[in-house]
């Protein structure tokens, strides 16, 4: 099967191609040098061509996503589309059903998406949903930050056991990377408390968030995992938390990267760039956070941009969700994952006229605009926490057009003028920078830049074509066209197959599920397993034998090998 995309205006920044007229040749699901004359030809006609979109942080599958669906039947009433001969029915806006996750991402030109948090014990549920999400490639980051074994091994300063535990945990959950959410906080929440600084001691474990973060970063690099530690900072959503965020970022200096990427990815920074001491004097500190990133090369972040309207906040940060629900008089669901984590789900409605929300909206955009290098600030909405992913086109238009921002600023609470710097920021991102924040950068941060996020020879043949001619449009003025084009791709090609044409689904192949097989010396695993067996015997309510996700749960696996020792074939 050969495909030739002709006359595209190609933006492939990691290969130094920025709007050049170029042809893209595809054979057997990969980008190749050239194809034969028998190749099917798609004439891009000068339109914008990019690699398929890659999302490094979105909540698309698993236990808390489903709790969101259960507690929000009213959300299910929107976005209803009956099945067609090709597609299954879709429902929902902030918490779409599984099919909608795949279709809607593909319709935006996205081909790879990572679920940002799965507890090992809930991983089977995550994979049951991933197996039903059509078209896109996907994977899930596994939670390690409040797990009892993690905290034990950190306290014992036994890095070999910690690395072995991560290796085993990734296998048990078929996970892709190490996610850390409010480290220590999940355990404290079991006692109705939370950690409030990097140096609070977690009771019964005698470890601090600082020790957990540093140890996990070290273990992550010992294992040479493709992705770095992916951190949801302590004190999320609290005024003044930017200090905790900066202090957490500084911890990356203690660890050396094992690969050409960051040591620490700090996620949905919008919720962690807050100044002030309470909601009354609350202000944006995005400039401080962006400034840190501008001066350091070992940390990356993503925006977590807020979208006005309905959102469903869901996180493994149980205590913050309880606080949210109380503050907003909102519906609240709480989850406890024994020995591993806590979680919470709260629906919110972000209103333009509420000062706090207006400031948060501006904070996200400040992060995107004040961070000079787009490789360090990925575009996300922390779906569906900041808002549903279907609004990425809105975020792109806002980043590309100061005119649009000024128009929006007129419609939001005036606090945006006194508490943020957004009104004075004139920077407008170009297509290359957008391609980095949504493709090359995300792939690089995930450690997948060999095959994802670019259009060089050897890359996966994931391509999106948008109905814009870059040389004939002024994104600053014609921002409505930018938004409309990025919301609905002219073509999405996944693994060399046209899956979307003119915004409509044309094929629904099953994507692959990425997970990382990271090896450690066998004796480390054996030592570590003695502790794990004891944990199961004494504390877990389920048997170890019922715990591991079996191969049957991944019908299209894509195993990425990593590990501290040379890998033998299994």
Partner 1 sequence: MQIVTIKPTKEIKISTEVENISPDKFAGKTEQEIKSLEAWIGNQKMTIGELFSVKVEGSAPAADTKIVMEGDFSRVKRIGEGMTAGLVIINGNVDMHLGAKMSGGKISVKGNVDSWAGREMKGGELIIEGNAGYYLGAGYRGESCGMRGGKITVMGNALDFVGEHMCGGEIIVNGNTGILPGLSNNGGKIVIGGNTSRPGSEMSKGTIIVNGTVDEMMPVFKLEGNEAVDGVTYKKYTGDVIVNGKGLLYIK
Q: Which residues contribute to the site for partner 1 (CB under 8 A)?
A: 71-75, 77, 329, 331
Nearer to partner 1, 68 or 301 (CB): 68
Bridge partners for 519 per DSSP: 563
Among Zn ion, partner 1, none, partner that 116 touches (CB below 5 to 8 angstroms by kind) = Zn ion
Q: Do 496 and 407 touch, CB atoms closer than 8 A?
A: no
CB closer to partner 1, 76 vs 488: 76
Cα separation, 467 vs 48, whole angstroms: 7
Give the pair of three-digit tokens for residue 561.
């090998």
Q: Which stretch binds Zn ion (CB under 5 A): 7-15, 91-99, 376-384, 550-558?
A: 376-384
Please check whether residue 170 is in contact with residue 179, taking contact to mean a CB–CB distance below 8 angstroms.
no
SS3 content of the chain, % helix, strand, coil (to 5): 40, 25, 40
Smallest CA-to-CA distance from 274 within 232, 311, 243 is with: 243
- In the bound state with partner 1, the residue whose beta carbon lies nearer, of 71 and 507, is 71
Q: How far is the CB of 331 from partner 1 (least distance, A)?
A: 8
Length of the chain counted residue by residue: 570
Q: Roughly how many angstroms between the first and final C-alpha of the chain, as a whole number?
A: 32
Q: Which stretch binds Zn ion (CB under 5 A): 111-119, 172-180, 291-299, 509-517?
A: 111-119
CB of 74 to partner 1, least distance (A): 4
Give least dist CB 324 to partner 1, A: 15
Spatial distance between the Cα atoms of 229 and 232, rounded to a whole number of angstroms: 10
Residues numbered 176 to 205 that lie near Zn ion (CB under 5 A) are none
Beta carbon nearer to partner 1, 74 or 281: 74
Q: Shortest Cβ distance from residue 347 to partner 1 (Å)?
A: 8
Residue 34 partner contact from Zn ion, partner 1, none using kind-dependent CB cut-offs of 5 to 8 Å: none
Q: Which is nearer to partner 1, 94 or 438 (CB)?
A: 94
116 contacts Zn ion (rule: CB under 5 A): yes
Using the minimum distance from each CB to partner 1, give the nearer residue, 105 or 322.
Answer: 322
Stretch that binds Zn ion, among 2-10, 15-23, 124-132, 381-389 (CB under 5 A): 381-389
Which of Zn ion, partner 1, none does residue 43 bind (CB under 5 to 8 Å by kind)? Answer: none
Give 22 or 71: the residue with its C-beta nearer to partner 1.
71
Angle at 389 between CA 89 and CA 102, to 5 degrees: 40
- Classify 530 as helix, strand or coil: helix
C-alpha distances out from residue 337 to 63, 80, 342, 470, Å: 10, 32, 6, 49
Q: Which does 382 bind (CB under 5 to 8 A by kind): partner 1, Zn ion, none?
A: Zn ion
> What is the footprint of Zn ion within residues 402-431 (CB under 5 A)?
none
Partner in contact with 75, chosen from partner 1, Zn ion, none, beta carbon below 5 to 8 Å by kind = partner 1
Number of residues that bind Zn ion (CB under 5 A): 2
CB atoms within 10 A of CB 508: 18
CA–CA distance from 190 to each of 62, 74, 187, 193 (Å)?
21, 30, 5, 7
**For the purposes of burial, counting CB atoms within 10 Å of the CB of 118, is it exposed (0-12), middle (13-18) or buried (19 or more)?**
buried
Which parts of this chain interact with Zn ion (CB under 5 A)? Answer: 116, 382
């Amino acid at each position: 099967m050969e495909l030739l995309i002709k006359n595209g205006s190609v933006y492939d920044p990691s290969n130094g191609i920025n709007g050049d007229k170029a042809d893209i040749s595809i054979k057997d699901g990969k980008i190749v040098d050239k194809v034969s004359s028998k190749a099917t030809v798609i004439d891009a006609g000068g339109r914008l061509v990019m690699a398929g979109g890659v999302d490094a942080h979105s909540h698309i599958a698993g236990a808390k996503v489903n709790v969101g669906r259960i507690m929000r039947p009213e959300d299910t009433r929107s976005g209803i589309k009956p099945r067609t001969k090709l597609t299954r029915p879709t429902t929902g806006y902030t918490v779409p059903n599984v099919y909608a996750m795949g279709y809607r991402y593909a319709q935006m030109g996205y081909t790879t998406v990572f679920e940002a948090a799965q507890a090992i014990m809930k991983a089977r549920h995550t994979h049951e949903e991933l197996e039903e999400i059509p078209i896109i490639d996907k994977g899930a980051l596994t939670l390690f930050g409040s797990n009892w074994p993690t905290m034990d091994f950190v306290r014992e300063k036994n890095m070999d056991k910690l690395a072995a535990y991560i290796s085993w945990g990734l296998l048990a959950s078929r996970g892709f990377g190490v996610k850390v959410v409010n480290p220590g906080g999940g355990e404290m929440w079991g006692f109705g408390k939370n950690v409030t600084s990097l140096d609070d001691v977690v009771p019964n474990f005698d470890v601090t968030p600082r020790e957990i973060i540093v140890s996990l970063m070290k273990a992550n690099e010992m294992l040479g995992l493709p992705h770095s530690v992916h951190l949801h900072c302590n004190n999320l959503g609290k005024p003044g938390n930017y200090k905790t965020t900066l202090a957490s970022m500084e911890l990356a200096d203690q660890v050396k990267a094992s690969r050409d990427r960051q040591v620490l990815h700090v996620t949905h920074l919008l919720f962690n760039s807050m100044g002030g001491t309470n909601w009354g004097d609350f202000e944006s500190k995005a400039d401080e956070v962006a400034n840190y990133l501008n001066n350091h090369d070992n940390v990356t972040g993503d925006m977590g941009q807020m979208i006005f309207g309905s959102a469903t906040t869901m996180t493994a940060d149980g205590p913050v969700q309880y606080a949210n629900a109380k503050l907003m008089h909102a519906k609240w669901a709480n989850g406890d994952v024994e020995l591993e984590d806590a979680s919470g789900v709260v629906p919110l409605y972000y209103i333009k006229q509420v000062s706090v929300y207006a400031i948060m909206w501006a904070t996200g955009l400040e992060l995107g605009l004040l961070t000079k290098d787009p490789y360090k600030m990925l575009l996300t909405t922390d779906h569906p926490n900041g808002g549903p992913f279907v609004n990425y086109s809105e975020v792109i238009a806002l980043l590309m057009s100061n005119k649009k921002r000024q128009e929006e600023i007129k419609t939001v609470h005036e606090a945006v003028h006194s508490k943020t710097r957004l009104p004075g920021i004139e920077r407008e991102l170009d297509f290359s920078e957008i391609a980095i924040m949504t493709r090359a950068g995300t792939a690089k941060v995930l450690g997948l830049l060999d095959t994802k996020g670019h259009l060089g020879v050897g890359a996966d043949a994931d391509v999106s074509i948008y109905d814009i001619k870059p040389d004939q449009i002024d994104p600053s003025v014609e921002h409505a066209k930018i938004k409309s084009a990025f919301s609905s791709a002219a073509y999405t090609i996944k693994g060399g197959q046209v899956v979307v044409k003119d915004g409509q689904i044309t094929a629904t192949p099953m994507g692959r599920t990425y997970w990382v097989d990271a090896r450690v010396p066998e004796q480390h695993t054996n030592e570590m397993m003695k502790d794990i067996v004891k944990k199961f015997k004494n504390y877990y309510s389920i048997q170890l034998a019922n715990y591991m996700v079996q191969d049957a749960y991944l019908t299209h696996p894509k195993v990425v090998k990593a590990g501290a020792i040379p890998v033998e074939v299994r």
